[in-house]
Structure 1
Amino acid sequence: MRLLIVGLILLVAYLMIRKKFKFSESSDTNSKNLKSGFQLIEAPAALIQSTLKKTISNTLMGVVLILITVLLVVKIKLVLFLLPIAFFLVGYLFLFNNHFSKIKRQQIWFNAKTNEVFVEQLKADNYAFNIFRDIQGVQRIESVQTTRGLLYGYYRIKLKDRILEIPYLVAENKPANNLFFDTITQNFKIDIQKRIFPII
């Protein structure tokens, strides 16, 4: 009976998560790819959904480990070592939410001919910059390891008066976004930092 209740809770949680992160493609393809010569640097819905599935899989494994630990800890104290691993896996869901929210809050437009970048933001002022004139430094902040095919991270681009942060989800949209990220990685020294949870 307990397993049935747990199963129902997990199913409801899964459905709620899928609904929360529902992401639909825009029907206006031309406006995405062409805006006065600018290309939209984005993470497509298919890539986001694929990453969400992997994240939920890791999260469910973490929940199962927590349940196993709770059920067996009275008899076998050694299972306590599973808790840090379990909480680490569950943390991926919060990390996905953090990066997904960042993607939803900003749109990045890139003009390959002029190397101009225009950033539209939902909750802040829009701004523009030139890759070669205005970038002062580039960092890559990423997870300490890849877990079951998942590597979370983001680019942190330091400009003269602000910071632009771009989740790996956007960079993984290949080959569509290759030119933008190749321009950055080939012309700037990238400072790589490792974190347990690369929260933006």
Structure 2
Amino acid sequence: MKLLIVGLILLAAYLLIRKKFNFSGSEDINSKNLKSGFQLIEAPAALIQSTLKKTISNVIMGVILILITILLFVKIKIVLFLLPIAFFLIGYLFLFNNHFRKIKSQQIWFNAKTNEVFVEQLRADNYTFNIFRDIQGVQQVESIQTTRGLLYGYYRIKLKDHILEIPYLLSENKPANNLFFDTISQNFKIDIQKRIFPII
């Protein structure tokens, strides 16, 4: 009976999470009429949904570990070591939400011929830059490890007056976005940093 209740709670939580995230493109950003040759660097709904499913799978595993810890703690104190792992897995949901919000709040347009990039932002001014003239440094901030097929991270591109942060989700849209990310990775020395939770 207890397992049935837990199962129903997890199912309800899953449905609420799916409802929370809207996978359609952001309607709040007024797209500029760009000249031909610009490509939108985006993550399709299918890719985001796939990442969300993997994230929820990790979260469910974390919840199961917490339940195991609670049930066995009285008899086996050593199971407490499972708690940090459980909270780490559950933290992926907050990480997904953080990166998803970033994707929804900005649109990145790339012109492969001119290497110009136009960034539309929901809560700040739009701006443009040239990959070869304006980039001052590139960092990759990512999770300390890949967990059950998930590696969260983001690119942090330093410009003179702006910092552009791009979630890994966009780079995983292959081959559509390959040219943009290959242009950056092949022409700049990238400083890789590891964090437990690479929050943007």
TM-score of the aligned structures, taking structure 1 as reference length: 0.94
Which residues in structure 2 correspond to 1:100-119 (within 5 Å)? 100-119=100-119
CA distance in structure 1 between the partners assigned to 2:3 and 2:54 by the alignment: 23
Distance in 2, Cα, partners of 1:187 & 1:194: 22
- Cα deviation for residue 5 of structure 1 reads 1.7
Q: Distance in 2 between matches of 1:75 and 1:89?
A: 24
Give 3-state SS (helix, strand or coil) of 1:74's partner. Answer: coil
Residue by residue, what CA displacement relative to the aligned partner does 1:27-73 show, whole Å, maximum 9, x if unpaired? Answer: xxxx9xx7532100011111100000000000000001001101110
1:68 is paired with a residue whose SS is helix
Measured in 2, the distance between the counterparts of 1:114 and 1:16 equals 44
Instruction: Provide the secondary structure at the position in 2 that maps to 1:67.
Output: helix
**Structure 1 position 167, deviation (Å):** 0.2
User: Does structure 1 residue 154 correspond to structure 2 residue 154?
Assistant: yes
Deviation digits for residues 96-127 of structure 1 (CA, Å, limit 9, x no counterpart): 00000000000000001110000001111111
Partner of 1:44: 44
Q: Which residue identity does 1:190 align to in structure 2?
A: I
Give the match's secondary structure for 1:40.
strand
Check whether the contact 2:25–2:104 (CA below 8 A) recurs between aligned residues.
no
The corresponding residue for 2:195 is: 195
Deviation at 1:2, TM superposition (A): 2.2
Measure, in 2, the Cα distance between the counterparts of 1:50 and 1:193. 25
Task: Summarize deviations over 1:126-172 as a string: whole Å, max 9, x none.
Answer: 11001011100000000000001100000000000110000000001
Quote how far apart the aligned CAs of 1:12 are: 0.5
> Take 1:174 and 1:4, find their aligned partners in 2: how far apart are those partners?
40
Alignment partners' CA distance in 2, 1:162 and 1:93: 28
Amino acid of the structure 2 residue aligned with 1:88: F
Residues 5-24 of structure 1: pairs in structure 2 closer than 5 A:
5-24=5-24
What is the rounded CA distance, in whole Å, between the counterparts of 1:153 and 1:25 in structure 2? 21
The residue identity in structure 1 corresponding to 2:14 is: Y
Runs ≥4 residues deviating over 6 A: none
Given residue 181 of structure 1, which amino acid in structure 2 is its aligned partner? F
Cα offset, 1:3, TM superposition = 2.0
SS for the counterpart of 2:43 is coil
Kindly report the root-mean-square deviation, in angstroms, between the aligned alpha carbons of the 2 structures: 1.6
Alpha-carbon distance, 1:24 to partner: 3.0
The separation in 2 between residues aligned to 1:21 and 1:78, in whole angstroms, is 38
In the TM superposition, what are the counterparts of 1:3-152 in structure 2 within 5 Å? 3-24=3-24, 35-152=35-152
CA distance in 1: counterparts of 2:35 and 2:144, whole angstroms: 37
